Amino acid sequence: MAEITASMVRDLREKTGAGMMDCKKALVEANGDMEAAIDWLRKKGLSAAAKKSGRVAAEGLIGVASAPRRAAMVEVNAETDFVARNELFQNFVATVAELALTVGEDVEALKNARWPGSVDLVEGGSAHRTVAEQLTHLIATIGENMSIRRIRMLHVNEGAVATYVHSAVKPGLGKIGVLVALEGASETAVMEALGRQIGMHVAAARPEALDISAVEPSALEREKAVLTEQAQASGKPEAVIQKMVEGRIRKYYEEVVLLEQVFVIDGESRVKEVVKKAGATLSGFARYQLGEGIEKQQSDFAAEVAAAAGQG
């Protein structure tokens, strides 16, 4: 039997909103498995959480850059939010996003790319500094660890790839970035305007898939298992239970599939209807939120001070 700690119970409460004793019981039943405990609470009707949320911990910036029919987005992490306000760091992220437009989504290839306008003298001649070397230089200058975490690029054959940055600290730099690829023959300005609106929607609604066919099979099966057990608790006939599950799966699609979601701009139309009315096809999207999926170690400052004073 796995040890159930107070911090595990606290984390489960933060993720689900369920009561402390219910969280502890769920962890016991799941032998300490956090995901299984979340499912146990949902099956008992004690939590509405659909998936692990995770705590956003890493700092830094999301950067986006555009060119005709393509756009790129990068995440560059740092240790503190203070660095995100540093002009040197901001310029680095903006340049990395521009370089990604030609280098592509390979982080290692980007690190090995030539840093524009920078030359380091070496014995016997001169050599251009790479992105990785520029990052090392920046780390030494600012005095904080940093890393290029990920890159995403979208392109279209005809149309536009629009960008949106939520709460931008500078044009193209912020904590949430979105790319939206629209295929179509309409004017570029029209496509970019619609794409920006859809980008605002994506930032707010957090879709997980473009269309129903793109929903991750394991996520769908997990959702069906939870919904089936919930429906069976009603005691109704199997045929009725199946219809209940089918209806709830349709609702699930409306929550996680971009084209099935209600457009936040008008609050009425489905995104797929808005795109069709514009004579366009939504071929792809990407959403980056700074630090998602990374958890920072939580420390007890008072305990650290006491330990340093020999009182721990």
3-class secondary structure, 168: coil
Measured CA to CA in angstroms, residue 114 lies from 195, 234, 272, 308 at distances of 32, 63, 41, 45
Closest by CA to 60, choosing from 5, 154, 139, is 139
Q: Find the distance separating the first CA and the last CA of the chain, reported in whole Å.
A: 29
Distance CA(293)–CA(298), nearest Å, equals 15
92-106, 124-138, 248-262, 289-303, range with greatest mean pLDDT = 92-106
- Give per-residue pLDDT as tens, 17-63: 677 778 888 899 999 998 888 888 877 766 543 333 333 337 999 99
Residues facing 75 on adjacent strands = 62, 150
Task: Check if the beta carbon of residue 73 is closer than 8 Å to that of residue 93.
Answer: no
Q: How confident is the model at residue 282 (pLDDT cuts 50, 70, 90)?
A: very high
pLDDT digits (tens, 9 = 90+) for 75-119: 999 988 888 999 999 999 999 999 999 999 999 999 999 999 755
Which of 36, 227, 10, 229 lies closest to 23 in space, CA to CA?
A: 10
For the chain, list the domains and their CATH numbers. Answer: 1-54 (1.10.8.10), 59-180 (3.30.479.20)
